[in-house]
Amino acid sequence: MSKESFESQRELCERLQERLASERARLAQWQSIEADYQRKYTETLRPLEEKLNQLRYKLVLCFDHAYKEMGLSKAEREFVSELVTEFSEELLVLATKSDLPAGCDTARLKTLYKKHRGSDYDANLAELTESAGQELADALDLEVADLASTSPMQLLQIIQDQYEDEDAEELLEYARVVKIPAVTNPVAWQALQEAERQRLAQSTANEASMSDLLGGRDIPDDQLDSVNASLVLELDEVLSKVQFAEEGFKLRYELDPFATFEPDAVMGELDDDLKDIQEYIQELEHEVMQFSDESLLKSWLKAMRREVAAMERREDRS
């Protein structure tokens, strides 16, 4: 039996008030970081992401040119084809969410993907999505059709309730395949706001906070049942608002819908993302320069192949 099964009504009252205070503070944190996060995201991160994706698109074209025109060996051409396929896939995922920068041609990316992969991108994606959906539904004892009406946060909770560690992470990867391309974030955010408006319209929660009304005073034993019932309703309401805040945050800022975020950590994580993307841009700018000379390109490809092989060996050992 759980610890809560042995609680007295007074102990339950105290625990509910503590949880309420914690969740209300968390909600206040979500509200307090919004302005600063939005400013830094809009003014700094988004321009960097656009520059990064333009560089990735340029590299796809450079790789394809090198494949045809720069006297590469068979092994080098095979490696270049892998790079074209990988970069094209990453950019086409953005295209499904209408997030490709200006000047990046979706049709050309699909043509290059087919040329270097030997198969159609849309057909591969449809097959992968269908397969992942079936695997996910079977593992969670759901119908595939049920996945469409289940939000990412609900799906995350179902997976975490039934699985742990590597098994849970594997199912989350299936969930990302199934859910992420399904709808653009602005549309999903609009739907989430409408659902929240409907929920608030139907809510029976009181405007006044029971914990505030109590004001720290002692509660007579004969009132504990009623007070606890009100506290449970109030906690459910606050938890719904916290969930709306976190889900909306992930949608507005293009974050992984199956990851969890804490409001006291997201500003630091954003700073880390900015540092990483700036370093990645410098790497890609260096890579683009290698296409100015055949010997430079061959040396770079050789170094890259060694690096990839070393990474694969490390993964095999882990």
pLDDT of amino acid 224: 86
Residue whose structure tokens are 């694969």: 312
Joined together, the tokens standing for residue 240 give 């719904």
Mark 259-269 as b/e (b = at least 16 C-beta within 10 Å).
Answer: eeeebeebeee
CB atoms within 10 A of CB 79: 19
pLDDT of amino acid 1: 44
Per-residue pLDDT tens digits for 157-216: 899 999 988 899 999 999 988 876 666 778 888 888 998 999 888 876 665 566 666 666
278 close to 48: Cβ distance less than 8 angstroms: yes
pLDDT of amino acid 23: 95
User: Does 301 score more than 90 pLDDT?
Assistant: no
- Among the residue ranges 88-92, 119-123, 259-263, 296-300, the one predicted with the least confidence is 296-300
Alpha-carbon gap, residue 265 to 41, rounded angstroms: 15
In this prediction, what percent of the chain has a pLDDT beyond 70? 91
